[in-house]
Every structure is written in structure tokens, then in C-alpha cells.
Structure 1
Amino acid sequence: MGDTDWSGVRERVESLRARPGHERRFGADLHGFTLAPALGDGDLADLEAWLGVELPADYRRFLTQVAAGGAGPDYGINTVRRIADGDGWRWHGDCGDLTDVARLGLPFLVERPFGELLDELDEREPRPEDFTDETAFKEATWSWQDRMWEIVAVPEFSQGAIYLVDEGCNRRYWLVVSGPAAGTVWYDSSCDWADMNPVENDAGEPMGFGEWYLDWLDSTERYLALWPNGGCGPIGPQPP
């Protein structure tokens, strides 16, 4: 993990804009297979100094050799830029401010308690047959849903990780930067009452940023080769 060869990757991504059917790939309507400019070495040093952490090797080399963000899985990689007229940096994208910069140096929780809490809450879902009043049922349901969001909104849920990609419908990918899982990508489907889980390759091993990104690029190239005229291929997000 961390030894990805990024040579030629930017050119491969940008060439997809000219491929027939590219607009059918999920998320392409937002990122358009366009990449932001890469960071300079000085920019990277300043970013890491401001964050107080060293970013995973694959991701830091992606930032300087490929792009600061842009085209990628689903709606694309959130782009990191300096804060205009201010001190520091931020990630731009849908809910890009979910990254808790103040807690990036704390270890990401690998032994996670949130799945059990969500399971227990799921078992207490209000059922209409238990209520004689529709208003009371709706209020109980809202309270139950609010409790779910309280569980996943605690700082510990995503500490030590960067919010990387939006899949839509509150499903997300995170890049772990601190702790024993540093460098791996995790899938967040907490909106479906589930905890984060590491993204795994075909061998069942956790995927690092480089393997995960190139897997998307390879699959996109295969997709466009199979559907050269747009065709009727699948357009929804791929499973993690």
C-alpha cells in the first residue's frame, strides 16, 4: 500500500471525456472526467503542516502527480484547496466540510461500537400497529430517526479520516489517515443503519487509496469499451 504508479493516470482519466457513452457513467454529469490541477510540493507541505498529519503515501502522491481532486468514483474525489482569503485548506464537494480537521490526528476507530448501537436501535423501530394515534406514531418515528443520526454524528465516528467521495443519498467513502488502518478506504452506509466498513478487493483485503482509485479507472475503461455507443449499460453506482 502506497507504491502506486501514477504515471499516465491523469491522461487516462481526461481521455475518457472523448469516449462515446462516457456521459452514462454514474457521476459523470458532475465531475465530467475533469481533474483539478495537482498540488505543488510546497502546497502539499503546507497542507500537511496545517492539518498536523502526514497524509497516506498513495493519496499525497495522487495530489501532487495527478490532481487535487475531481473525476473519480461516483460523484468524484472531493478537491482540496486553500481557503480563499483565509488561513488553511478545505475539501470542496457535497458536504466536503464533514472532514473534522481538528481530529485528523486521532486514530480512526477500527474496533467500532456503532454497528451494534444501530442494530439495537433498528430493533426498536416504531410500528404503526403499536399506536392508536397517527400523530403519535409519526412523532415516535421522527424521534427514532433522530437518534440514528445522533449515533453517527458523534466526532468519534469519523475521526482520523477524510471525507473523500459522495455516492449520493448520504452514502460516502472515507480515507483513513491516522491509526492502524491509515491508508485504507472505508464505505459509510450509516444512512442504511450500518457502520462503516473497509472496502475490500477480490482477495478480501482492505483497499488502499491507489488500488481503489485505479480499480474505478480500470472498470470505467472496460465499461466504455463494452458500450462504445452509449448502449444500455448500467448507470448506477457500483457496489463497494
Structure 2
Amino acid sequence: MNSRSLRRFILSVLLLAAINPLRSEQPPLHSHREFKIGVLASLTGSGNSLGQDTVAALQIATDQLDAEAKANQGGYRFHLFVRDTQQDPVKALAAIKDLDKRGVQIIVGPQTSAEVAMIKPFADAHNILVISQGSTASSLAIAGDNIFRFCPNDKREAAAIVALMQHDGIHAIVPLWRNDAGNNGLHDSVKAAFENIGGTVTSGFQYQPTTTDFSAATASVASQIQSLVTAGADPNSIAI
């Protein structure tokens, strides 16, 4: 997500936070209404650049709104409750439970589909609005739930990937992917779209999030590539 998109995302979040009060009643002059915004972001783990950028952008936005409120002697204030999930679904669930106890009903993040899938039942049950800036799994595109996502889902990603591969003359794919909601969804969507245009997708290799030794993965991928070549495939037409 580039800086311009991130700024638009933050503005949308803050506007959503104020929708209900704006519809019901305007605050009287010289009053302040505070909104608690939870932030589930990866600050120290994988994907920490997006997490840090998200928190920084939210802080800039809240500072600007606070300054405007002071200048106008009234308005809306936003209090951020930031939690570092490290893209760990278990930590994301613990964080949303803690934020619920603190009265937080709007949450920005988490970044991954695996985290969103983990917290979704709790968010729905406790009427917490979750606004994810990174989740793409089409399995999480459920009408009427409490999850709002800014990124296109994996079916649209797959269409773009397959179009690029077709342009590059790719006829076979050996997939290598991480076993989580986001990457499983992308794998399934790419496989379906590529096979739909007559391409070949091998069984590939799915690795666990905790994997540190990829020797089995590389051996499996190499073996599948060799099988394709032996069957007559042009090595230049095979993608991993």
C-alpha cells in the first residue's frame, strides 16, 4: 500500500468512526467526543513496515484532528490503542479481547487474512468493526459481517497474475506457498484461473508458517520441474 492509498485509508477509518454520532446528534460547541480506535499491527515481526506505516499515519491523522478540535474549541478526539500482533493470529485474538474490555468498538487491522480469520468470530459476536488494510482471502468476503477490507480479494489478484504469466509465455506453474488463510486463498484462485485458460498447475509444495529449513520444499519443487521437462515442457515456460 503506497503512501497516498494509506492516507486515504486512514481518512476513511476516521470518518467511519464518526458516522453514528454524526447521524444521531452534533456535539454542542466547546464539547469533545472521544473515540477509542484499536490498532492491530505488526510492529516487530513480519510485515512490520506496513504496520509501522499504519500506526504513523494514524498518529498524524489524530494529531491533526486534535489540533483542529482545539482551534475550534470543540470537536472529535481519537484515542489510539496500539497492539503489536507480529502477524500472529493468536496474539491478534488476545489483543482484540483486551481491547474489547477497554471499550474499543473499532479496530484498524490486522494486516493478514490469517489474523482476520482468527478474530472474526469474536468481532462478530461482540459487534466490533474490524477494518483491515491487508487481508485478501476471498474466503473472508462474507456479506453482513463486521469485517471491512480495503484490498481487492485474491480472485482479482489471481486474474492479474495469470494475465501476466500468459503474457510471458508461461504454460505450467509449480506453486510454493505458505499455509495460511491469505496464501491458501491466493493459491486456490491462481490455480483455478490458470487451469481455466488451459495451463498446468502441479501439486506444488505448501510449507508451514514456522518453517525455517526449506530443503524439502526446494527438493520437491525441483523434482516437479524435472517431471514437467521430462514430459516435454519448455523450461522457459515453467514458473514457480
- The TM tier, using the shorter chain, reads under 0.3
- TM-score, normalization by structure 2: 0.26
TM-score (norm 1): 0.26
Structure whose alpha-carbon radius of gyration is higher: 2
Write 1 or 2 for the structure with the bigger share of helix: 2
Counting strand residues as a fraction of each chain, which structure ranks higher?
A: 2
Larger relative contact order (CA 8 Å, sep ≥ 6): 1
